Homo-oligomer: A and B are copies of this chain.
Amino acid sequence: MIGRLNHVALVVPDLEQAAQSYRQSLGATISPVQELPDHGVKVVFVELPNTKIELLEVLGEASPIKAFLDKNPSGGMHHLCYEVDDILAARDQLKAAGARVLGDGAPKTGAHGKPVLFLHPKDFFGTLIELEQA
């Protein structure tokens, strides 16, 4: 079912500083900063030849990553996103296997404008998993 690793998301306390560090110390190609107020994040992409790393900063008090940053003030690894062909079929297969989908189980429009779901990290050994219909 799961296809490509679409991205790895890392939460950072200061996006400009993190982007600078990835650019200068690691010599990576970094996208411009995007503010996504509907998703409560500011984001840059670290563009790699085979996938991308999303660096996320809290945007607004209702940000879904605020609790994570409060718990990990230096930042940390937040989630992995796998691509699927059919998100409803994927959801139904996962639910049948006993995995919990976060929220009401209906796909939302993700930060890239595509349907996404999140799976409960307790069902995947402490890793938060996003599925995105590619």
Residue positions of A touching B, CB distance < 8 A: 1-5, 8, 10-13, 18, 21, 24-28, 48-51, 53, 55, 72, 74-77, 80, 82, 93-94, 97-99, 121-127, 129
Residues of B within 8 A of A25 (CB): 93-94, 97-99, 123
Closest Cβ of chain B to A101, distance in Å, is 11
Q: A27-B2, A127-B10 are in contact. Are A80 and B53 (CB under 8 A)?
A: yes
How many copies of the polypeptide does the oligomer hold?
Answer: 2
Within 8 Å by CB of A77, from B27, B28, B50, B80, lies B80
Q: What's the Cα separation between A45 and B33 when bound, in Å?
A: 33
Q: Is the CB of A75 within 8 A of B126?
A: yes
Q: What's the Cα separation between A73 and B81 when bound, in Å?
A: 23
Closest Cβ of chain B to A38, distance in Å, is 24
Chain B residue at smallest Cβ distance from A6:
B50
Q: Is the CB of B5 within 8 A of A51?
A: yes
Q: What's the Cα separation between A93 and B26 when bound, in Å?
A: 8
